Amino acid sequence: MLTKRIIPCLDIKNGRTVKGVNFLNLRDAGDPVELAAIYAAEGADELVFLDISATEEKRKTLSDLVRKVAEKVDIPFTVGGGIASVEDVEILLQNGADKVSINSSAVKRPELIDELSKRFGSQCVVVAVDARQLEGQWLVHLVGGKEPTEIPLYEWVKEAEQRGAGEILFTSMDHDGTKNGFANEALARISELVNIPVIASGGAGEMQHFADAFLKGKADAALAASVFHFKEIRLVELKHFLKTQDIAVRL
């Protein structure tokens, strides 16, 4: 049985870790390099580092910060934000990233997924999808959730897999930061539609929410930010709890 992964997410703005609710009202959550080192030591399976304003500000991800984080951790490390080309990915991998997360750039130019998977392997390419429900339909949003599209969530994740994505990172904007649990129905549907790992994001507030993402949402990994940053949930305690629910995790 494959173990389920727990992934702290470092949302970065102006060199600091931040966290908000429904992608708004950001507050400071600490130094990303220090947090990354703590999470690696506490048993995180992977880390995700998202430069959340890079696309909106039309600039590249902070490669020097990526290097500093990579020097502190010995677990897989995914980087996203402002990535739009093979060259962008080469720079990040050279600075210590193991995988990259692409979102807006992939929607605007889906061929980017093909190019990256052919050059670096699909295991390196995470397609992040921010979506919310509008009139009963899940629709993809871009630029940190600021730009709605008419692209249906489920069609897009299938296309992303066909083009070479190695993982789907699905964030429910409706659930993000609410601490009311993950979007498990949508997660389960995505997991049925694709044959690649699905990472749940948006809504973690208590340990049971992680168990639900795995048991009800059929997710392969669960990502969270504020509950870890503000010490509301400890990684070690979370993993022991998941063991009691017969969920396979790495201790």
pLDDT digits (tens, 9 = 90+) for 191-207: 999 999 999 999 999 99
Q: What are phi and psi of 75, to 5 degrees?
A: -120, 160
Catalytic residue chosen out of the listed positions 45, 88, 130, 220: 130
Give 66-118 as a 3 state SS string: HHHHHHHCCCCEEEECCCCCHHHHHHHHHCCCCEEEECHHHHHCCHHHHHHHH
Respond yes or no: is residue 31 known to be catalytic.
no
pLDDT tens for each residue of the chain, 251 residues long: 689 999 999 888 776 776 544 444 445 556 888 889 999 999 999 999 888 665 555 455 578 888 998 999 999 999 998 899 999 999 999 999 999 999 999 999 999 999 999 999 999 999 999 999 998 899 999 977 788 999 999 999 999 999 999 999 999 998 887 899 999 999 999 999 999 999 999 999 999 999 999 999 999 999 998 899 888 999 999 999 999 999 999 99
Residues 56/61/65/71 CA torsion (nearest 10 deg) = 140
Catalytic residue chosen out of the listed positions 11, 45, 88, 212: 11
Residue 169 has which token pair? Answer: 């990172």
Respond yes or no: is residue 11 known to be catalytic.
yes
Query: What are the residue boundaries of the structural domains of the chain, listed by start?
Result: 5-244
Residues 12/15/19/24 CA torsion (nearest 10 deg) = -80
The Cα–Cα gap between 210 and 214 comes to 7
Class of domain 5-244: alpha beta
